[in-house]
Amino acid sequence: MPATPPASAAPTRATIIDVAAAAGVSRQTVTRAMNGMSGISAATKERVLAAAERLAYRPSRFGRGLVTGGDHQLGLVVNDLRNPYSPQLASAVYRLAAEQGWNVMLADTTLAGDADRIVQALGSQTDVVIGYLGNRRERWTELLGSVPMVELDPSVDPPTAAVWIDPAESIEALADHLVATGVRHPVVLDNSQPGQPSARGVLMLDALHRRGYLPELVHGPHGTAECGAEETASVLARRRRLDAILAFNDVMALGVLQACRRAGVDVPGDVRVVGVDGLPLGALVSPTLTTLAVDLDAVAREALDLALGMLAGELPRSGATVQRTVRHRLLVRESA
């Protein structure tokens, strides 16, 4: 995984006292101006808002809650609620956030045309945002402005707090397991475009290469069960020497199982199948799915801990102290 960014000092966040001093008014006047309340002149309000903008001051929703009755709000960004991984993660975040007395607002950025608007609206209504930003990180960081952000599973070193979800150790354990069980001709079914393997796919290929394998890399561009089934059917039709398929995620692996069943290929007798994520549905299929499982409760817990620390001013917005890691583990079931 990418190197952890160097530590940096916690930025000084402007307070209501700073704004009041800069505008030459009382704290109560700042509160009235920021919340659109009556009792102050238009000129005073304009002066307060200008000072707040100059200082990059963003009122705490804790403070606004005293005025408006609102609760502390957490924004969660996910990729696609149709993928079982996303609601599983959301469930973990909702449950742990509720224990902290937070409300959660969910943004599904699947609809690319609306994604910027959705993220910007989320930032305007929440105290902190956590979630998957992907290759739109820079754009969305700009839209979120001063809102603290915790990125989940970044692909490169982030300028923000982050929770890394690291499969490296479990991939090594999986590669050793394949050697021990006599696998000779593995295939890596990646969620990627030709010539652009995912970071996870690269780790799988590297681990297999170092153990003397010459694995085929198959690109499945959609990461869905349907994509997994289609690519597996194509591989089975053209390749005789195949005894293991390592899928990018559990959802694609379910498609692999379906394609093998339709082709009369025995799993695990003829082909071993492995997924990634450890989704509960993997225990409900037959054969049960071997997977590299990740504890999504742990992911949610680390992200919320970072969010609370940043909001309290106890943690910086970036640097080594706000980088956390949750690792996968090899969960061997019937399919491998």
pLDDT tens readout for residues 192-248: 999 999 999 999 999 999 999 999 999 998 889 999 999 999 999 987 789 999 999
CB count within 10 Å of CB 7 equals 12
Going by pLDDT thresholds of 50, 70 and 90, the confidence category of residue 71 is low
Q: What gap in Å lies between CA 307 and CA 182, rounded to an integer?
A: 46
9-14 average pLDDT score: 58
Phi-psi category of 69—alpha, beta or left, where left has phi over 0 and alpha has psi -120 to 50?
left
pLDDT digit string, tens, across residues 249-258: 999 999 999 9
109-124 average pLDDT score: 80
pLDDT at res. 110: 81
Closest CA to 141 of 122, 165, 155: 122
**What is the rounded end-to-end Cα distance, in angstroms, of the chain?**
26
pTM: 0.77
Say whether pLDDT at 36 is over 80: no
Please provide the average confidence, as pLDDT, over all residues in the chain: 88
Q: What percent of the chain has pLDDT over 70?
A: 90
Instruction: Let me know: does 236 contact 242? Beta carbons within 8 Å.
Output: yes
Phi-psi category of 195—alpha, beta or left, where left has phi over 0 and alpha has psi -120 to 50?
left
Which residues are paired to 193 by β-bridges?
196
pLDDT at res. 12: 61
pLDDT at res. 5: 44
Going by pLDDT thresholds of 50, 70 and 90, the confidence category of residue 6 is very low
